[in-house]
Homo-oligomer: A and B are copies of this chain.
Amino acid sequence: MTANSFTVTVGRVSRELPTIEVGEMGRVPLVEFLGDVEFTNAVADELRALVPEDAEMLMSVSTTCIPLTHALSERTGLPYVIVRKKRRTYLRDPLIQEVQSMTLGVNETLWLDGRHAARLRGRRVVILTDVVSTGGTSLAMARLVERAGGQLSCFLSAFRQGEPGIDVKYLQELPKVL
């Protein structure tokens, strides 16, 4: 481990993560599932054990967490929905949810297609992220689940970074600053 990389090992797969500058805070490791089938599948294999037995659906958010969500859905047999961060013209009757960000000046809006929202009604939903830090995005997704008539099963994340304001199951801790 140096300031420019950080090594994680999940199952039998190790990755030297690059680090990125985040404002004045220093450098943090960058987890990347996009473009890495082996690492994605290793993480999904381990996350599988953390999915509650009574869970009925998975929800995650675009973009970087999509391969992991696909892989975890495949392993658990639970269907999944993806919340978008950008309005798309083909979304029908979307649920729109603001993320209450703790970082001043960063604001994000989540969009959930009405057709997918309908799939959540009456279901216990696991909310999945790749890295949870403040928990703001996860909380906004929980609000979407509730508004769609579903129930939160649990928050689940591959990695935790910092002190999220939610109770979340995760595989490993990442340093917040290197």
Q: Out of B30, B70, B81, B92, name the residue touching A67 (CB < 8 Å).
A: B70
Chain B residues positioned under 8 Å from A18 (CB to CB)? 92, 115
Contact string, A29-41, partner B, CB cutoff 8 A, digits 1/0?
0100011010011
Q: Is the CB of B30 within 8 A of A73?
A: no
Q: Is the CB of A82 within 8 A of B34?
A: yes
Q: Is the CB of B20 within 8 A of A90?
A: yes
Q: Report the separation of the CA atoms of residues A62 and B64 in the bound assembly, to the nearest whole angstrom.
A: 9
Q: Is A63 part of the contact surface with B, judged by Cβ < 8 Å?
A: yes
Per the 8 Å Cβ criterion, residues 115-135 of A in contact with B are 115-116
Q: Is A155 part of the contact surface with B, judged by Cβ < 8 Å?
A: no
With an 8 Å Cβ cutoff, the count of chain A residues facing the other chain is 27
Shortest beta-carbon distance, A130 to chain B, in Å?
13
Q: A35-B79, A35-B82 are in contact. Are A30 and B70 (CB under 8 A)?
A: no
16 example contacts (A-B, Cβ-Cβ < 8 A) are as follows A20-B90, A34-B62, A34-B66, A34-B82, A35-B82, A35-B116, A37-B70, A37-B79, A63-B63, A63-B66, A63-B84, A66-B66, A67-B67, A67-B70, A70-B70, A70-B71
